Every structure is written in C-alpha cells, then in structure tokens.
Amino acid sequence: MNLIFIYGPPAAGKLTVAKELSKQTNYKLFHNHLTYDTAYSLFGDDVYSKAFKECCENLRIIAIKEAVKYDVNMIFTFVYDHKNDHNFVKKISSIVERAGGKIYFICLNPSLETIKKRVVAENRKIYKKVSSQEELDTFINHYDIYSTIPDVKSYTINNTLLAPQDVAQEILTYMGTKQ
C-alpha cells in the first residue's frame, strides 16, 4: 500500500493536485475535508474545538487503517500544524509502515500572495474550506501551517507558478513512477 500524503497551508492547491494525481495513478483520494462533514454534524462549526479535531483525526485514522487492510493505494490531503498534528502523523506513519506500506510526504508551498488569491475562490465553499482573507488570517494566527513535518522525508514543491498536472508529474517523478 502506498500513501501519498500531501500537506500545506490552506489554498496551497492540495485537493486540486490530489485530484490530478488520482487521475494519473488511479489511487483513491481521501481529502481532509471528507471528515469535516461528520464533525460538523456532531459538533457544529467550531473547527478549533478539541471535539471537532479529535473526531476528524479518529475518522482519518480509521479510513487509513481500512485502506492499509485492503491494500488500497491512496492520496491524503492535510493542513499540518506542527504544534497539534505531530502525533497524528506518527500514528499514520506507524499504521502504514507496520503493514509494509510506503508513505510519500509531499509539501506544497506556494507564495503567500498566491494563497491569498486562491483562498477566495468560490469552489472552496463546497467543502467549507477557509474561503476569506479573514478566515485565512485567523487560521494562520491559530496554527503553525508553514512548517514541514519533522522526522520524515518531505518533498517540497513551490507550486506558485505550476499547473496541477505539472505538480502531479513532479510528484510521480519523485516517487520513481513517472507516467
């Protein structure tokens, strides 16, 4: 089982790149906002609450365990916060690696100016993503979202000027499976 773990700040293009990568690889796409609907229905829209975060984390762990169990290659998107998410990443890594799987950590890191332009795109509201400058500022002030994940090998891509297809190809080249 391979897990492509794409992370970066809000509006970095994680889902857009993941969709393209899924098309090119047939890997299943499990983006982080799929768990938000369940958490919203149980805990409302306080995405900063402990209950909301724990619900999302537990659902993600269950999904990844099932993917490992049934040998499903997948792409997972995530906004990594160094202060709060390091243990989650360690759990995911342990689950995949214990089963003999491989994780490719990919950090998308476009410029802040690019993120500010992207964050207001209308399509971001579909998944209740950060979709205004005010929400982005709150998010940036609340979380450390620009750090790479420590203790893992991450491949960082500045995708400020790259099309999603080009980023997907760069990821595949990095993985050694250029399409």
Q: Which residue range(s) make up the domain with 142?
A: 2-172
Residue 168 covered by a domain: yes
46-98 pLDDT tens trace: 877 899 999 999 999 999 999 999 999 999 999 898 888 899 999 999 999 99
Which CATH number do you get for residue 32? 3.40.50.300
Q: How many domains does the chain have?
A: 1
Residue 179 covered by a domain: no
Q: If you search the block for the tokens 């997907």, which residue do you land on?
A: 168
Residue 119 covered by a domain: yes
Residue 177 covered by a domain: no
138-175 pLDDT tens trace: 777 877 777 899 999 999 999 999 999 999 999 999 99
Q: What CA–CA distance (Å, rounded) separates 122 from 44?
A: 22
Residue 107 covered by a domain: yes
Residue 106 covered by a domain: yes
Residue 125 covered by a domain: yes
Confidence of residue 7 (pLDDT cuts 50, 70, 90): very high
25-52 pLDDT tens trace: 999 999 988 898 899 889 988 877 899 9
Residue 178 covered by a domain: no
What's the full length of the chain, in residues? 179
Confidence of residue 126 (pLDDT cuts 50, 70, 90): low
Which of the two residues, 125 and 111, has the higher pLDDT score? 111
Return the structure tokens found at 79.
């906004």
